[in-house]
Amino acid sequence: MARPRKHDGAVYKRSGTRILWMSYLDRDGKRIRESTLTQDWQEANKKLRERLHARDDKFLDIVRRGEQIEFGEWVDFFLENYSKPPLRAAKTHDVNMRATKHLKSAFRSRKLADLNADEIEVYLRIRLRDRVRVKTASGFIERQELKPATVHQELRVLRRMLNVAVRKKLLRSNPCAGVEFPVTLKGLFRPHYVSWSEQRKIEIHAPEYLRNIVRIITETGLRVYKELMPVKKEQLDLENAVVWIPDSKTPNGVAEVPLTPLAVEAFRDQLRLSPCSPYLFPSDENPSGHQKTLKTVWQATLRRAKIPYFRIYDLRSTYATRLSAGGVADEWVTQLLRQGDAKVFKKYSQMKLQMKREALFKLNRQANEENIGLTQRGSTDGVLAQF
C-alpha cells in the first residue's frame, strides 16, 4: 500500500519565468500543474487553496473551464439559455440583445475570468461620451450623446450575465459589485408612492375597468402585464378569496394570491364588465384575446386627474409600502410580493421615506407650549374658584 502524500498541493518557482506555478492532485489522484498567473507568493497560495476547495466540492472542472471561456462565448450562451422566452419576456430579450451588442464589441476577446471593475468603469465612461447613431440612406448620422439611463441599462445586463456565471461557479465573484456608476441618475428606480387621496382621484377619472385594475394591484401586488392582464375567470376563487397565477416573471411568482375584500369587490365588478370572454380583461384587437397595454388610457387618466405621470407598475410598489407601513415584517412583505430575493424589497422600502416626510408635516412644534398654557390656565382657574 502506497504511503499517503504529505501535501495535497504546493506552490513552486519554475525556471525561466518569474510567474509562480502550483501543483495539486485532482479527485482521481492525478497530478495537475498549472500557472498561478502571479508573482505574489500569497496570491499564488490563495489560488491554490481555491483550487483545492473546488476539487473537494466537486466543481474543479467548472472553475477551470470558466477561466478559459471568452466573454463573447459566454454572451452567446447567456442569450440562448437565459434571455429568451419563456424564461424572460420577449421585450427583455430585445433589451439584452441591444446591450450585449456593445458589450461584445468592447470585451469580446477578453477571458470571462479576467474582467475587473476598473475595465468596466472605463467602458462606462467611454459609452457616456458616445453619440446616438442613426442609420439613413446616405449612411450613419451621429446625434445627441447617449442618455445615462441607456448606459446604465447596459451595466444592469452585464451584471445579470455575470451573476449567472457566479452561480454556475465559472466566476468567484461578480466584478460589477465594485463598479460605481460615474453619473448620477435622477429619478431612476425611485418608485412613486400613491397616497389614498391620490388613488381616489385616479379612480374617479378612470374607466371602470382601469379603476378595477388600480384597486386589484394596490390590494394584491400583481404584476400588471405579466400576471393580471392574462388572468382567466377560471383562475378566480372568490369564495375562498384567492386567485391562481400560473405564469409569472419568476418561479416564486407562480402561486395562489390571497385577496382582500376590496380586491374581491374589484374582481366581481370586472366579471360583470366581461360576461362573454374567458378573460377578465378581453380585447378583440389582440390575437392573445386579452389586453396587452394600458399606456394610452393610463396617461389620459392621470392627465384628467391632474396628477403628474408615474408608471402603473408603481401601484405594486405602493402595495408593498402600505404593507410595510402597516407593520408587516419585511420577510413577509417579500413573500407577499412573491420575490425570490429579499434585496429586491429595498427599492420598495425606500418609499417609506416619503411617507415619513408626509408625517413630519403633522409635527406640532407648539405642542409643549400649548400643554403648559393649559396647565397654567387650569391652575389659575382653581385658585380663583377658592375665592
- Assigned fold of 71-178: DNA polymerase; domain 1 (1.10.150)
Q: Which residue has the higher pLDDT, 159 or 367?
A: 159
Confidence check: pLDDT of 66 > 50: yes
Q: Classify domain 196-359 by CATH number.
A: 1.10.443.10
Residue 158 binned pLDDT confidence (cut-offs 50, 70, 90) = very high
| Domain chopping of the chain, boundaries | 9-58, 71-178, 196-359
Give the alpha-carbon dihedral of 172, 177, 182, 183, to 10 degrees.
Answer: 140
Q: What is the mean pLDDT of the chain?
A: 82
pLDDT (average), residues 67-87: 87
pLDDT (average), residues 353-374: 56
**pLDDT tens, residue by residue, 254-268:** 889 999 999 999 999
Closest CA to 216 of 197, 234, 238, 190: 238
What are the contacts of 63-68 at 24+ separation with CB within 8 A? Answer: 63/169, 63/170, 65/170, 66/112, 66/113, 66/165, 66/168, 66/169, 66/170, 66/171, 67/111, 67/112, 67/113, 68/111
What are the contacts of 82-87 at 24+ separation with CB within 8 A? Answer: 82/161, 82/164, 86/247
Give the alpha-carbon dihedral of 277, 278, 283, 284, to 10 degrees.
Answer: -60
Residue 174 cell numbers, joined: 461578480
pLDDT (average), residues 3-11: 64
pLDDT (average), residues 210-219: 95
What pLDDT shows up at residue 190?
Answer: 67
How many Å apart are CA 58 and CA 69, to the nearest integer? 19
What pLDDT shows up at residue 10?
Answer: 87
Dihedral sign (CA 12, 13, 15, 21):
positive
What pLDDT shows up at residue 210?
Answer: 96
Across 242-267, b (16+ Cβ under 10 Å) vs e yields bbebeeebeeebeeebebeeebbbbb
Confidence check: pLDDT of 351 > 60: no
What pLDDT shows up at residue 385?
Answer: 47
pLDDT (average), residues 315-324: 87
From residue 87, give the alpha-carbon distance in Å to each of 248, 250, 298. Answer: 10, 8, 28
Angle between helices 295-304 and 196-205 in degrees, nearest 10: 110
Instruction: Say what percent of the chain tops pLDDT 90.
Output: 36
What pLDDT shows up at residue 350?
Answer: 52
